[in-house]
Structure 1
Amino acid sequence: MSNLKKIRIGAGAGFSGDRLEPAEILASQGEIDYLILECLAERTIALAQKRKLSDPNKGYDPLLERRMKKLLPIIAEKGIKVISNMGAANAPAAAAKIIEIAIRKNLKIKVAAVTGDDVLSLITGEEITLESGKPLSSFGKIVSANAYLGADSILPALNAGAEVIITGRVADPSLVVAPLMHSYGWTYSDTELIGKATVIGHLLECAGQVTGGYFADGVKKIVPNLEILGHPYADIFPDGTAVIGKVEGTGGIISLATVKEQLLYEVLNPFAYLTPDVSADFTTVSLKQIGHEKVQVTGGNGSTKPEKLKVSVGYQGGFMGEGEILYAGAFALERAKMAGEIVEKRLQEHFTEPLRIDYIGSNAAHAGLGDGNSSYEIRLRVSGLAKTAEIAAWIGEEVEALYTNGPSGGGGVRKSVTEIIGIQSILIDRESIHSSFSIFES
């Protein structure tokens, strides 16, 4: 076991489009040992696979270059290690881009690209999905299949001395579990410690959510200075105890309430939160406010890691056509409804599924609950799914035609066609997946 008193891990990003500044602040002012950047979601990686198909040098996170331009000089100066799944569908290309940036900045850096999560070649189409119980082949052409790897895919790169580790689809908490295992010498036989590490990883993975982002409601849950929201770090000790904090002077709060909300976020079974590393038990976690912006996390447990890994499968789901138009003033809702009926009647025979008609300002978010009686302005939104982009485009065209062929006073038309990537999940035997890493140096 290591003699380290603690290590500090900062959470610089919680999703692909997250702000850039919080990671820079953590790296420059947070006195952190590791910086994790969690930038993947199920649809994110499927879309990345599409970009890679168009250009074999792409497929990594769109903000990777901007993030690393800011971070590389800081981490090189301070000796911080970065672990991120910004590799998305193309970790080697992401690593090569980071080296390119380092060379331009005259920095010496060692980058590892972790691969093995892409299991498209193993998919037959006969696999039964977790969401529907139907075979994959019933949904559409499969474009991606990425298994959730665990900390064991990252550890070899850490052991090789990589300063930046770029992965594809790795389970979010594993980005934290790996440096803890590496720093403290924990193994998978230490299931209680791996369970505790997973709890900490889960608290950090969404970054600003634990410091008040996605928590505030402006009335009962007041969060100060959200415009400069600070992202969290965790001081983790050899027994698996952690203290969540943030850089002094940044916005947001760290309280029992914010930490509790994040602890429960996306947890279906707190007795068995399944990751590639462990079946974690969150029910024994204890939280304690131990000071200003400091919450101590103790407890948590775990049992043997699952024999199967989750695989996120992307498929071509057709094309979404959308059209919007605004009606304001007297009888806004009535005119919007008239307009919606016109479009529906003109297009219903061309779409196999009913069009969706939303009256934004009356009932779009909670269909059927708004009566619209006091609505002074309504934005009509018509959307529908089609097999081709050409058919999907008809929706926007018909909404635009309402300018002079529909009720009075319509304006502010917007229209779009978007290719839809659907997502289904399956399980695959762990033994069939083999991760590896490649080293790139500037």
Structure 2
Amino acid sequence: MKKIRIGAGAGFSGDRIEPAVELAEKGHLDFLVFECLAERTIALSQLRKREDPDAGFDPLLSERMHAVLPACRHNEVRVVSNMGAANPRAAARVTAEIARSLGLHGLRVGCIEGDDVLHLKDAFRPFDDEPLPDHTKIISANAYLGADALAEVLDRGADVVLTGRVADPSLFLGVLIHAFGWQKEWWDLMSQGTAVGHLLECAGQLTGGYFADPGYKDVPDLDRLGFPLAEVSEDGSALLTKVEDSGGLITMQTCREQILYEVLNPSSYITPDVIADFTEIRFEQQTPGAMRVSGAKGRPRPRDYKVSIGMDDGLIAEGQISYAGPGTLARAELARQILEKRLAQIGAEDLRIDLIGLSSMHGMPADWPAPYEVRLRAAARFMHEMDAKRLTHEVESLYLNGPAAGAGVTFAVRENIAIVPALIARELVTPRISIEVA
């Protein structure tokens, strides 16, 4: 039975690069997949593209490609990623330039566009009855494409594929469709490939990152955490493992946690490619560092694409100040009262004043022991920059106009992008493929 090996090179935009290099050099891979997009990530990328037509792709694209392309070319590993973000064409052009600078002439860099559906906003429909935002506030809109176009560009011989918004597990499923010739109506295989993709998409989470809890769930060598890879068979079953001697672990518990991660309904996980049912998935420990996964079932894919809408939601202003020593809590509480009264005068929306480490998550416990140091954080939403800066000024003024011994003030004002889901008919969205040769 034919098998291929897929490595997870990243689980988010700012992920470590060294584990991906380790996979490219030592993983005996056929494909290396970087999953680097989140909902707000692509909206912010669209803003950067608006300011500079040659920008809008992942900020670590160049560093990652310089790091992995030589090993990938030497070991015949093909690269797939959504690092194209808001500008896959520019990302492909930059990657081809990097390949030429590294002497990797002839490298074929594929590009998938078409997920940007801002021009189709009149065709958006509500998602789960959530109201659609005012058109004047919409700054970006990207449909979650599926695996079809990705498989096609690999069929055309691309060595590197860069996309925009593709559903996370679809990055991996597209590789499997290409490698095994699966038909898109083979729903159980679509679901099993989606399960493999979902297990790999967050990279180090499967090997113990985000899982570790000292004394309860101990993970060895997190400082050199290895990212996972899957040896996938033509029947969709896969052996999950990692590079030998890398940090982390793969166990029944890490796999079970990851298969349920961000899955609202395990019996009906809706993707652009299939409605997956994970309730019959089986994990079987093969060796201490390898876990076999099989058993996902599937139903026909939805008729619509989901759309992630980025909406202008004003500005967020934030200021922080620290108090330490005897009477810390009383001084921080006095600072909070001062800020509440001062900020009430400027129309701050959604104002939060938290004592980090004490009340920022669950409120202040009644019987909590008095701390020796406290970090106060004030944040609120504003529609006008002048008002937003008032909050930062008020926090800074606590140096001389508030309780004793405040220190370490920091502050910032940033754009606030709200994310709203929507639906769009599949037939209105057309992926576009192009290939550039280095």
Question: What band does the TM-score fall into relative to the shorter chain?
Answer: over 0.9
Q: Secondary structure at the match of 1:122?
A: helix
Q: CA 1:344 to 1:354, structure 2 compared with 1: closer, same or farther past 3 Å?
A: farther
Q: Secondary structure at the match of 1:72?
A: helix
- AA paired with 2:226? G
Conserved 8 A contact 1:125-1:136: no
Residue correspondence of structure 1 range 36-435 to structure 2 within 5 A: 36-108=33-105, 109-124=107-122, 127-130=125-128, 133-137=130-134, 141-369=137-365, 371-435=367-431
Structure 1 range deviating more: 371-380 or 206-215: 371-380
- AA paired with 1:269? N
Q: Residue by residue, what CA displacement relative to the aligned partner does 1:259-301 show, whole Å, maximum 9, x if unpaired?
A: 1100110111111100000000000100011102100101001
Runs of 4+ in 1 over 4 A off after TM superposition: none
- AA paired with 2:96? I
What is the distance in 1 between the residues matched to 2:352 and 2:370?
A: 23
Q: CA 1:342 to 1:403, structure 2 compared with 1: closer, same or farther past 3 Å?
A: same
What is the distance in 1 between the residues matched to 2:208 and 2:431?
A: 36
What is the distance in 2 between the residues matched to 1:234 and 1:329?
A: 52
What is the distance in 2 between the residues matched to 1:325 and 1:304?
A: 54
Is residue 2:33 matched to residue 1:21?
A: no
Conserved 8 A contact 2:73-2:104: yes
- AA paired with 1:44? T
Conserved 8 A contact 1:125-1:137: no
Q: Secondary structure at the match of 2:349?
A: coil
Cα RMSD, aligned residues only: 1.3
Q: Secondary structure at the match of 2:206?
A: helix
Q: CA 1:417 to 1:296, structure 2 compared with 1: closer, same or farther past 3 Å?
A: same
What is the distance in 1 between the residues matched to 2:366 and 2:19?
A: 39
The offset of 1:245, in angstroms, is 0.2
- AA paired with 1:215? F
The offset of 1:249, in angstroms, is 1.0
The offset of 1:229, in angstroms, is 0.2
Conserved 8 A contact 1:322-1:416: yes
Conserved 8 A contact 1:48-1:60: yes
Conserved 8 A contact 2:152-2:178: no
The offset of 1:135, in angstroms, is 2.5
Gaps of 5+ in 1: none
Conserved 8 A contact 1:361-1:375: no
Q: CA 1:317 to 1:184, structure 2 compared with 1: closer, same or farther past 3 Å?
A: same
Q: CA 1:243 to 1:370, structure 2 compared with 1: closer, same or farther past 3 Å?
A: farther
Q: Residue by residue, what CA displacement relative to the aligned partner does 1:325-360 show, whole Å, maximum 9, x if unpaired?
A: 111112211111111111221121212525211011
- Output the TM-score relative to the length of structure 1: 0.97
- AA paired with 2:121? I
Q: Secondary structure at the match of 2:231?
A: strand
Percent identity reads: 49
Conserved 8 A contact 1:333-1:372: no
Give aligned pairs, total.
437
The offset of 1:160, in angstroms, is 0.7
Q: Secondary structure at the match of 2:69?
A: helix
- AA paired with 1:123? K
What is the distance in 1 between the residues matched to 2:375 and 2:114?
A: 46
Conserved 8 A contact 1:91-1:114: yes
Conserved 8 A contact 2:151-2:174: yes
Conserved 8 A contact 1:193-1:240: yes
What is the distance in 1 between the residues matched to 2:277 and 2:45?
A: 33
The offset of 1:64, in angstroms, is 0.2
